[in-house]
Structure formats: structure tokens, C-alpha cells
Copies of this chain bind each other. A is one copy, B any other.
Amino acid sequence: MSLLVTGSLGIDTVITPHGKADEVLGGSAVYFALAARKFTEVRLVGVVGEDFPQEMRSVLESAGIDLAGLETRKGSKTFRWTGKYTEDMNDRDTLAVELNVLAEVGASVPPSFADSDVVFLANTHPAAQRQLRSEVPNARLTVCDTMDLWIETAREELAETLKVVDGLIINDAESLQFTGRKNVIDAGYALLDAGLKFVVVKKGEHGSVLVAPSSLTAIPAFPTRAVVDPTGAGDSFAGGMLGYLAGEDVHDDAALRRGLIRGTVAASFTIEDFSMGKILSISRDEVEERVHRMCRMLRID
């Protein structure tokens, strides 16, 4: 089945206690696509500027990502972000951001991608997400992300977007911000009431919670001492989860729970190196081995 991701591609500069990565490949759609690619074929929709380096494009091509939806906009520049993580890597400061092409009109889904089955609408303005959703009319499973900015500035638009997707993958602070609840499980159920079939609340190093009408699942993050750069963990999580689900015929609670493990494992690889260093270098077998370890760790009788 075909998996489509819409989102950003960017050039990141990242500083963590483990070092600095200068002008490396980043962006939500990229982290998603390379994680999802461990499980299935991936179509990418996004926009970069003329300055987007050929080496970065080659990284995506070599990984087998379908770039028919990647627009290189004349006269525009690629999104750039510079961030620095705190000592414990649980927080980060944005030191510089140049929206560039992301401040212009968004990407659109090319006709050849319109038949996509599973769609992830990475974070962007909720009205743009709704437009993109309408360009993939027959998707069996559509999931979106969002961010604090839209919860503050485009709350009604976001509420409308939640009505045209099946699932939401959101971080803990944003789930509380949107719902006004004090705990993420409450927030998850409040979001279901907004018209969703399932909600995943991401808690970073503390794992995630899947809230679906007939089941509630909390799992930890994959325990690791090897965190180098947390950037992209959330998008890799979504990529692992939806990459897995794109290969499944049925998206019932059991499948969502198996997807949750794949997302957790995908994120655990991403954070072991800067940029796409780790997620690119690991094999499908290494992913499956860690999935197996995670399931074994959680199996307690």
C-alpha cells in the first residue's frame, strides 16, 4: 500500500551536549520518510528552495523515497533552523530560524500521488493540512501532527482539521494545551471526542500513550543511554508507526499497538546520531531486532 507524507525539508544546525552538526539534512517530512522507509515505500510532498543541496536530494533518492512531490521553487530558499539542546536534552532553544520557502504557498499533491492509501500530514498550518487532505480523497488512514503555534493562533482551523483525519500524533504539552486538561490520558480522550479514531500522545523520553475508543495503551520509550540528538524523534516515531500500518490491511487497535512499538523503535534509532546518521545506516533487520527486544522487555507474565 502507498504511504504519503507532507511536511518540511530543512537545513538544520544542531548543538547538543554531544557536539554540533552544521547545516545537516532535517525537516519533519525527511525524518518521517526515512523512518517509514524501513517498512514500506514512501511518497514525499514538500517544497525546497533553489539552494537545496544535491547531496541532500541524493540522500533521499538513494533511500528510495519517491520525490515526485518535491517541488524546487525558483527564487526561493530552503527552510533553515538552528537549535541548541539543554544539558539533559529535555528542552531546546531555537537560536535562529529562516522560514524562507515555508512562509510561501505550500506544496500540493501531484496527481500521481492522489491515490495514496495512508497519509501523514506533518506539522503545518491546519488549513494547509486540510487542503492537502482533500488532494488525497481516497486515503484509508490519515493522521496529522500539529504544534503550539497553531493551537494558539489557529485553534478553530485545527479543530476543523481534526474532523477530516483519522488520527492525531501530538506531543504531551500540546495535548494539554489544546484540551485544557491536566493529564495526557484525559487529553487523549478529549481529543477522541473532537472526532478522532485514535490519538497518540508522545512523551519523549517517557514514552507514549495510545488512546483509542476501545483500548488505552501506555508504553515506555526504548530505554537507551545513547542519546546524541533528539531532533526528529517525533517525526521518526510517526514514520515508524505509519510505515508499519501502511503494510497492514486492517487498522484495528491491535495493529495500532504494533505500530506504536515500531514508532518507538524508529525514534530510538534517530536520536542515536545527528540528523539522519543512524536511521539511514541501520538495516530493516536491525529495526526488527529492536522491535523484538522491545516486545520481549514488555512481556511480563
Inter-chain contacts of A260 with B (CB < 8 A):
300
A220 touches B219 (CB 8 A): yes
Inter-chain contacts of A295 with B (CB < 8 A):
300-301
Decide if A87 is an interface residue (CB 8 Å cutoff). Answer: yes
Decide if A74 is an interface residue (CB 8 Å cutoff). Answer: no
Interface string of A194-220 (1 = CB under 8 A from B): 000000000101110100000011111
Given known contacts A88-B182, A225-B189, A301 and B219 CB-to-CB distance under 8 angstroms? no
Inter-chain contacts of A168 with B (CB < 8 A):
none
Inter-chain contacts of A299 with B (CB < 8 A):
298-299
Interface string of A268-301 (1 = CB under 8 A from B): 0000000000000000000000000001011111
A298 touches B301 (CB 8 A): no
B217 touches A218 (CB 8 A): no
Give the interface residue-count category, chain A. 35 or more
Question: Which residues from 221 to 257 on chain A have a C-beta closer than 8 Å to any C-beta of chain B?
Answer: 221-225, 227, 257
A300 touches B258 (CB 8 A): yes
Inter-chain contacts of A186 with B (CB < 8 A):
225
Residue in chain B with minimal CB distance to A181:
B225
Inter-chain contacts of A258 with B (CB < 8 A):
300-301
B221 touches A183 (CB 8 A): no
Sample (22) of A-B pairs whose CB atoms are under 8 Å apart: A185-B223, A185-B225, A186-B225, A189-B225, A203-B206, A206-B207, A206-B220, A207-B207, A207-B218, A216-B223, A216-B297, A218-B220, A218-B221, A218-B222, A218-B223, A218-B297, A219-B300, A220-B220, A258-B301, A260-B300, A295-B300, A298-B300
B300 touches A183 (CB 8 A): no
Given known contacts A206-B206, A206-B207, A219 and B298 CB-to-CB distance under 8 angstroms? yes
A224 touches B185 (CB 8 A): yes
Question: Which residues from 25 to 78 on chain A have a C-beta closer than 8 Å to any C-beta of chain B?
Answer: none
Task: Kindly name the residue among A87, A89, A182, A189 whose own CB sees the greatest number of chain B CB atoms within 10 A.
Answer: A182
